[in-house]
Chains A and B, each alone.
Chain A
Amino acid sequence: MTFRTRLLVFFGLAIAATSIIVSYAISLTVTRAFERLDAQRTQTLTAQFQREFQWRSQEVVRRVESIASSDSVLRMTSDLSRPSSDPAPYHDLAAAIAREQDLDFLEFLDPSGAIISSAHYPARFGYKKDWITQPMDWRGLGAFVEIEELPEESAIALLAVRTLAIAGSTYYILGGQRIDKGFLDTFATPQGVRAVLYRDVSAVLGASRYNPPEIEDLVVRIRNLGREASTTVAPWFEAPRNLHGIPLSGRGKDLLAVLLLTSTRDELYQLTWFIRWVALLGSLAGIALGIGLAWWATSRVTRPVHELAAGAREVATGNWSAQVPVTSQDEIGDLAEAFNQMTRQLVEQRDRVLQVERVAAWRELARRLAHELKNPLFPLQITVENLQRARSQHPEQFDEVFRESTATLLAELSQLRAIIGRFSDFARMPAPRFEPLHLGEFLPPIVKLFEPQWQSPEHPPVRAEVRILDSPLTLEADPDQLTRALRNLIFNAMDAMPNGGLISVRAARDNGHVVVEVADTGAGLTPEECERLFTPYYTTKHHGTGLGLAIVQSVISDHGGRISVSSQPGRGTTFRLELPEKHSPNGPPPHH
């Protein structure tokens, strides 16, 4: 990841995170405000329900009392209190009176608790309600919640019981109203709030059927607490709902039903979603803006860095005079200025080094040339002096001396010419002419050329081996120049083994290159010698010109390859030539 990309990602994430944090904070604040409002609204509704419930209770009690004191009920109880009385004629009485009093439930029960007449379940005549005969202060109890059986179902009822004592027997009048949707609809609930009677309490507590888990939890909590409780239901992708449960307990304080006040948080839900959308869009816009700003900023920051990197690459490719523009006065500007100063110093130092090296080379050349020329010149001088001496002192021997001297002069002149020829050859290395070479055929004759010399009695014993590790192994090269380079290396190897030894020539393919190694088992070289080995006119031999390895390096370089040396004193030296298999006219310059 580039520096610019990192900067872009950082800016984008920073802006997005800021947007999310801000939107979350707003959502949280709004949610808490709505929760406070909800709590107040629920509290008001609960108080309203309790007032209404109390009023209804009083109304039920009033109506039941009115029925208990009515003439028809008094007549009935008086009639039934007589021996052998028949309750059958009163079977429909409860229904008629319930209609008059607008009661959903009305029953008349005899002293044993058997139903004489039932308005809401006429078929139950004769069945007993045992709980009604238990001692109880019905008047003090007022209205209470009870589950009443109906022909097809059971219903939650708000009931009141009054008693009539006739001739020592107590008759019961039970009446009430049904707590159902109609009952709840009379409450003035604000918009978005619904009152629901949750009757499936026994199923929840018995876990006998599926119920929404939130409601089950709420009902269990209400039962355990014995008072109101609230919870929030938040289905996915729906507005959350507040559930406030008010327990409806029976005579024995057992939980019979729960009045659920449900209020939707639709407004909050929509507002929250609006905030989230705004936050999302703001984040996206912020990210886009951040990317733009970051792009602009990073361009300003990274452009000098890029220019520095480009300048460094130029330096790496050899353009030591590369300069970068200094566009600012900050650290980046200082860095650019330092870079420019560095390249200027590099160029200056390179020029100085070149000059020093050139002078040194000329000195070395002059020393070597003087040394090379001094050797033949001394015999020439001696020969000429012999000729002069013979002509003046021994004229009779002059011819013989002349003949011998001229031969010597010619030999020394030939030696001089050879010396000059070697210098001349180094000065003018021709461009290589590339052609395919099969190393399996090319290398052995080069080595074989030296065999007669190695096999002569006056020469120390030298063995040679040629190994082609990959076959076929070919490369494109100038055969003459490569032959010349290899011969120089073999010459060096021979010189390195004055007491004989083994010369190994190995060739192999290595990652698109052909590697040729020439190794000897001679005395080896010191690291310092290895460093200077390819410097022109540098030699470790007394009779060398110092041009052999320079020529080898020149040839290998012209072929786009490279040469290296590894040596350990006392264990021999290995020259390694790496040459491209295929010649590429525009290939990368050889690296040394």
Chain B
Amino acid sequence: MRLILSLLVAAANLASARPRYGGTLVIETRAAVTALTSPPEILWLETLVAESGPFRVAEFTPSRRLLVIANDGHAAGRPFLDQIEVRLNRSLRDQLTSFETGQADVIELPLTEIRRQQQRNRPIWTSSALDLIALSFARSHTTTQSETLRRAIALSIDRQPILNVLLQKHGEASASLLPHWLTGYGFLFPAQRDLARARTLLSPKPAPLTLSFDPNDLLLRPIADRIALNTRDADIFLRVSTAADADINLIRITGAPGEPGAALNYFCNALSLFAGPRKESFESLHSAERKALEGAWVIPLFHIPAVYGLSNRVRGWAPSNTHAWQLADVWLESAQ
């Protein structure tokens, strides 16, 4: 009898572990995709809209919605999911609401939510720390023309407390465009605070500057406030705002590829930096990156992972360090 019960439990476990076909996976993202012809901003979206991929585009409303359906004739076989609905241009707050109410299966999570989701046993997918948070100075503003001022700001920022508290120790403090874990030479770009040197660089006292951030990114506001507080210690006054035409922008660049050279190109393109020609070596990469950061028009601050929250019915989510998800292997537990 006990044997029979054990066999029944094992069979039930086996049945639950076996992939099921059908169902609609709902993904929400902040990305506002306006055209499918243009290169997609995020890698996982690329696999959805590829003509020979496991899914075919059924409906696309720019910046609103993308609906893909299973490609029955896919060479690798039909995906488990019938369709995937991607809701575009959704703020983190809206995504959290959808996630909490069961209306979304995959959402972007702010780092501060990781602990709470973990406490609730929600599965989380975390990428490698490839998202770059950096300060970018407006080149056309007269208030930002002083390189010593830009360097003083860079020296006045204490990255480690921000990483420990606001980023909950996810990612790494960085002063280079590429993360240390990817290149191994990140230590060559010092990221330590040197308040005394920052103060010596400032003569005369600079005029107040404005620091803006993307208001839809919940992570950036406290970082911007902390940076303003740090620079105030060096007698540099930054007024935090969400104005478009600010002197300094706190930006977060997501979706960088995992290959160092491609990632550098990606960041340089996003930040309008010129890295120059290079060879396929880390020495050349380092030189190119150093050249790109000349003038301190961009101050890299952190490399953080992208974090996605998964609903409990999502199964088959393959671990990956990059955003190149294998959505054809994903299936939903409750799908009929």
Q: Kindly report which residue of chain A lies nearest to residue B240, judged by CB atoms.
A: A151
A124 beta carbon closer than 8 Å to chain B = yes
List of 9 A-B pairs having minimum Cβ-Cβ separation, nearest first: A123-B225, A123-B226, A88-B165, A123-B229, A126-B161, A91-B165, A151-B225, A88-B164, A125-B165
Q: Mark A110-143, 1 if CB is under 8 A from B, else 0.
A: 0000000000011111110000000000000000
The residues of B with any CB-CB pair to A shorter than 8 Å are 112, 115, 161, 164-166, 168-169, 222, 225-226, 228-229, 239-240
With A123-B222, A125-B161, A151-B240 in contact, do A91 and B229 touch (Cβ < 8 Å)? no
A-B contact pairs, 14 of them (CB 8 A): A86-B164, A88-B164, A88-B165, A88-B169, A91-B166, A123-B225, A123-B229, A125-B161, A125-B165, A126-B165, A127-B229, A151-B228, A151-B229, A151-B240
Residues of B with C-beta under 8 A to A588: none
Question: In the complex, what distance in Å separates the CA atom of A123 from the CA atom of B213?
Answer: 15
Contacts of A127 in B (CB 8 A): 229
The answer for the CA separation of A56 and B206 in the assembled complex, in Å, is 41
CA distance A88 to B161 in the complex (A): 9
Known pairs A86-B164, A91-B166, A152-B239 / 5 extra A-B pairs, C-beta < 8 Å: A88-B164, A89-B168, A122-B222, A124-B229, A152-B240
Alpha-carbon gap, A127 to B228, bound state (A): 13
B27 CB to nearest A CB, Å: 27
Residue of B165, B222, B239 touching A87 (CB-CB under 8 A): B165
Binding site for B on A (CB under 8 A): 86-89, 91-92, 121-127, 151-152
The closest CB in chain B to the CB of A89 belongs to B115
A65 to B227, CA, bound (A): 33
Q: B239 — nearest CB in chain A belongs to which residue? A: A152
- Bound form: Cα–Cα A151–B237 in Å: 11
A123 near B228 (CB under 8 angstroms)?
A: yes
A interface secondary structure, majority? loop
**Complex interface: chain B residues within 8 A of A123 (CB):** 222, 225-226, 228-229
Task: Closest B residue to A122 by CB, please name it.
Answer: B222
C-alpha spacing A226/B240, complex, angstroms: 38
B231 to chain A, nearest CB (A): 11
B164 contact set on A, CB distance < 8 A: 86, 88
Inter-chain contact A92/B228, CB cutoff 8 Å: no
Interchain nearest-CB distance for A153 vs B (Å): 11
Q: Give the residues in chain A near B168, CB-CB below 8 Å.
A: 88-89
**Closest partner residue, chain B, to A151 (CB atom):** B225
Chain B hits for A121, CB < 8 A:
225, 229
Q: For B240, list chain A residues within 8 Å (CB).
A: 151-152
- Report Cα–Cα, A122/B165, bound state, in Å: 11
On chain A, the residues within 8 Å of B166 by CB distance are 91
Minimal beta-carbon separation of B156 from chain A (angstroms): 14
State the total of A-B contacts with C-beta under 8 angstroms.
Answer: 32
Q: In the bound complex, what is the Cα–Cα distance between A152 and B232 (angstroms)? A: 11
A92 touches B112 (CB 8 A): yes
* B residues near A89, Cβ cutoff 8 Å: 115, 168
Distance from B118 Cβ to chain A, minimum over Cβ atoms (Å) = 11
Shortest CB-to-CB span from B74 to chain A, Å, is 45
A122 with B112: CB separation less than 8 A: no
A86: min CB distance to chain B, Å: 8
CA distance A124 to B227 in the complex (A): 10
A443 to B229, CA, bound (A): 120
Q: Measured between alpha carbons, how far is A123 from B220 in the docked complex, in Å?
A: 12
Report the bound CA distance from A127 to B225 in whole Å.
13
Give the Cβ gap from B317 to chain A, nearest Cβ, in Å.
Answer: 27
How far is B166's CA from A87's CA once the two chains are assembled, in angstroms? 11
Closest to B167 in A: A88
Question: Given the complex of chains A and B, what is the CA–CA distance between A568 and B300 in angstroms?
Answer: 128
Interface centre among B165, B228, B229, B240 (most CB of A within 10 A): B165
Chain B residues with CB under 8 Å of A88's CB are: 164-165, 168-169
For B112, B164, B228, B229, the residue with the greatest tally of chain A CB atoms inside 10 Å of its CB is B229
Q: What residues of chain B lie closer than 8 Å to A125, measured between beta carbons?
A: 161, 165
A91 to B116 CA separation, bound complex (whole angstroms)? 13
The residues of A that contact B229 with a CB separation of less than 8 Å are: 121, 123-124, 127, 151
Instruction: Name B163's closest neighbour in chain A (CB-CB).
Output: A88
Contacts of B169 in A (CB 8 A): 88
Give Cα A86–Cα B228 distance, bound, in whole angstroms. 24
Q: How far is the CB of A584 from chain B (nearest CB, A)?
A: 94
C-alpha gap A188/B140 in the complex (Å):
53
List chain B residues, Cβ under 8 A from A92: 112
Given A88-B168, A91-B166, A152-B239, does the pair A122, B225 have CB atoms closer than 8 Å?
yes
Residue of A nearest to B166 (CB): A91
Nearest CB to that of A92 among chain B residues? Answer: B112
Give complex CA distance A123, B157 in Å.
Answer: 12
Q: Quick one: closest A residue to B164, CB to CB? A: A88
Q: List the A side residues contacting B112 at CB < 8 Å.
A: 92
Distance in Å: Cβ of B234 to nearest Cβ of chain A: 14
A91 CA / B166 CA spacing, docked (Å): 8
Kindly state the separation between the CA atoms of A127 and B233 in the bound complex, as whole angstroms: 11
Chain A hits for B228, CB < 8 A = 123, 151
Cβ contacts under 8 Å, B239 to chain A: 152
Chain B residues in 8 Å Cβ range of A91: 165-166
Expressed in whole angstroms, the Cα–Cα distance for A151 and B169 within the complex equals 24
Nearest CB on A from B99, distance (A): 19
Least Cβ distance of B239 to chain A in Å?
7
Give chain A nearest CB distance to B236 CB in angstroms: 15
A366 to B64, CA, bound (A): 154
Complex formed: what's the CA distance from A125 to B240 in Å? Answer: 18
CB distance from A509 to the nearest CB of B (A): 90
Tell me, in angstroms, the Cα distance from A151 to B225 when the chains sit together.
7
Q: List chain B residues, Cβ under 8 A from A122.
A: 222, 225
> Please, how many angstroms separate the alpha-carbon atoms of A469 and B169 in the complex?
128
A65 to chain B, nearest CB (A): 27
Q: Closest CB of chain A to B250's CB: distance in Å?
A: 13
Q: How far is the CB of B119 from chain A (nearest CB, A)?
A: 10
Residues of B contacting A87 in the complex (Cβ-Cβ under 8 angstroms): 165
A151 to B239 Cα, complex, angstroms: 9
- The answer for the CA separation of A126 and B229 in the assembled complex, in Å, is 11
Nearest chain A CB to B208's CB is how many angstroms away? 11
- Measured between alpha carbons, how far is A152 from B224 in the docked complex, in Å? 12
A208 to chain B minimum Cβ distance, whole angstroms, is 16
A121→B232 CA distance, assembly (Å): 14
The distance from the CB of A135 to the nearest CB of chain B, in whole angstroms, is 27
Q: Which residues of A contact B222 (CB under 8 A)?
A: 122-123
A88 to B166 CA separation, bound complex (whole angstroms): 7
Q: Provide the bound-state CA to CA distance between A87 and B228, in Å.
A: 21
Whole-angstrom distance between the alpha carbons of A127 and B195 in the complex?
A: 14
Interchain CA distance A126-B159 in the complex, whole Å? 12
Select from chain B the residue with minimum beta-carbon distance to A126: B161
Q: Could you tell me the distance between the alpha carbons of A126 and B112 in the complex, rounded to whole angstroms?
A: 18
Q: How many Å from the CB of B237 to the closest CB on chain A?
A: 10
Q: Which residues of B contact A124 (CB under 8 A)?
A: 229
With a cutoff of 8 Å between Cβ atoms, the chain A residues found around residue B115 in the complex are 89
> Of residues B164, B228, B239, B240, which shows the largest number of chain A Cβ atoms within 10 Å of its Cβ?
B164
In the bound complex, how far is the Cα of B161 from the Cα of A89, in angstroms? 13
Q: CA of A88 to CA of B162 in the docked complex: distance in angstroms?
A: 10
Q: Complex: how many Å from CA A584 to CA B103?
A: 129
CA distance A121 to B115 in the complex (A): 22
Least Cβ–Cβ distance between A197 and chain B, in angstroms: 23
> Which residue in chain B gives the minimum CB-CB distance to A86?
B164
A126 to B222, CA, bound (A): 14
Most buried by B among A91, A123, A127: A123
Q: Output the nearest chain B residue to A91 by Cβ-Cβ distance.
A: B165
| Distance in Å: Cβ of B165 to nearest Cβ of chain A | 4
A498 to B225, CA, bound (A): 134
Chain A nearest CB, measured from B2 CB (Å): 44
What residue in chain B is nearest A127 (Cβ atoms)?
B229
How far is B226's CA from A389's CA once the two chains are assembled, in angstroms?
A: 172
Complex: how many Å from CA A86 to CA B115? 13
Residue ID in chain A nearest B233 by CB atoms: A127
In the complex, A125→B226 CA distance in Å? Answer: 9
> Nearest Cβ in chain B — how far from A113, in angstroms?
16
Question: When chains A and B are docked, how far (Å) is the Cα of A86 from the Cα of B164?
Answer: 9
A86 to B226, CA, bound (A): 19
